[in-house]
C-alpha cells in the first residue's frame, strides 16, 4: 500500500523544520546561562522543547511513510550522499577559514559513523531497522503494537523530550 503525500503532513513537516531551525539558532546565538530565571525557562521551554518535539515529529512522519515499504539500500545511500553534499563543503571552509583541524573534516566526511549529526545517524539506523519493524508490525495485532509503542515511547521518548538537561549544574 503506497501512502500519498498529504498537504497537512507536509505543513507539519515545515513547521517542525522551522522549530528545529529556531532551536539551533537560539542555541548558537543566545547565552542561556546569562538570562534571568523566568526568561531562561521561557527560552528552554519554547525553543528547546519545541525543537525536541519536532525531532519526534520527523521520526513519526518518516516511520509513517516507511511503514509497509520494502527495504532499499538506495534510501540509505541517498541520505548519506545528501548529508555529505552539505557537510563536506562546510567542513572544508571551516578548515580553510576558521582554523578547524583535519579531524573535524574527517568526522564530517563520515557523519554517520562519527556522529557529528546525531539525527542523521539515528535516521539511517531507523532505515536499517525498517524491515525488522515492518515484520514485527505484520506479526502482531494492532492493539499489541499500539501498547508496545505507548510503552516504549513512555520509556524512551517522553523523558528525552520533556525533561530538561542539566549541564554544569545549570538547567537548560
b/e burial code for range 44-77 (CB count within 10 A of at least 16 → b): beebbbbbbbbbebbeebeeeebeeeeeeeebbe
Residues 59 and 138 in one domain: no
Residues 44 and 88 in one domain: no
- Using alpha carbons, select from 3, 48, 10 the residue that is nearest to residue 166: 48
Residues 37 and 55 in one domain: yes
Q: What is the predicted pLDDT for the residue at 3?
A: 55
pLDDT band, very low/low/confident/very high, at 169 (cuts 50, 70, 90): very low
C-alpha 172: how far from its chain's center? 19
C-alpha span between 166 and 172 (Å, rounded): 6
Rg (CA), the chain: 19
Nine cell digits for residue 172:
537548560
SS3 of 161, please?
A: helix
**Region class of 51: left (phi > 0), else alpha (psi between -120 and 50), else beta:** alpha
Residue with more model confidence, 65 or 170 = 65
Residue with more model confidence, 163 or 131 = 131
Residues 57 and 110 in one domain: no
pLDDT band, very low/low/confident/very high, at 15 (cuts 50, 70, 90): very high
In a domain, 14, yes or no: yes
Name 148's Cβ contacts closer than 8 Å, sequence gap at least 6.
Answer: 140
pLDDT band, very low/low/confident/very high, at 126 (cuts 50, 70, 90): confident
Q: Concatenated DSSP letters for 122-143?
A: HHHHHHHHHHHHHHHHHHS-HH
Q: What is the pLDDT of residues 57-78, one digit of tens each?
A: 888 888 878 877 788 999 999 9
DSSP state of 115: -
Query: Among all chains, which residue has been given the C-alpha cell 528547546?
Result: 48
Q: Which of 14, 43, 63 is the last residue of a domain?
A: 63
Domain residues for 139? 67-159
Q: What is the predicted pLDDT for the residue at 170?
A: 41
Residues 97 and 152 in one domain: yes
Domain count, the chain: 2
Residues 75 and 117 in one domain: yes
Q: What is the mean pLDDT of the chain?
A: 80
Residues 16 and 72 in one domain: no
Q: What is the predicted pLDDT for the residue at 2?
A: 55
Q: Which of 63, 82, 112 is the last residue of a domain?
A: 63
Q: What is the mean pLDDT of residues 48-54?
A: 81
Other Cβ atoms closer than 10 A to 111: 22
Nine cell digits for residue 92:
572544508
Amino acid at each position: 500500500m503506497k501512502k500519498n503525500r498529504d498537504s497537512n503532513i507536509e505543513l507539519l513537516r515545515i513547521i517542525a523544520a522551522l522549530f528545529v531551525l529556531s532551536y539551533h539558532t537560539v542555541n548558537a546565538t543566545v547565552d542561556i546561562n546569562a538570562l534571568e530565571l523566568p526568561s531562561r525557562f521561557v527560552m528552554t521551554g519554547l525553543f528547546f522543547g519545541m525543537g525536541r518535539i519536532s525531532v519526534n515529529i520527523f521520526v513519526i512522519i518518516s516511520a509513517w511513510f516507511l511503514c509497509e515499504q520494502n527495504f532499499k539500500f538506495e534510501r540509505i545511500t541517498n541520505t548519506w550522499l545528501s548529508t555529505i553534499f552539505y557537510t563536506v563543503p562546510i567542513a572544508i571552509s571551516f578548515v580553510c577559514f576558521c582554523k578547524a583541524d583535519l579531524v573535524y573534516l574527517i568526522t564530517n566526511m563520515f557523519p554517520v559513523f562519527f556522529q557529528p549529526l546525531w539525527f542523521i545517524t539515528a535516521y539511517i539506523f531507523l532505515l536499517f531497522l525498517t524491515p525488522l519493524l515492518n515484520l514485527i508490525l505484520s506479526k502482531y495485532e494492532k492493539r499489541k503494537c499500539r501498547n508496545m509503542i505507548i510503552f516504549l515511547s513512555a520509556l524512551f521518548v517522553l523523558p528525552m523530550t520533556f525533561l530538561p538537561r542539566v549541564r554544569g549544574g545549570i538547567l537548560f
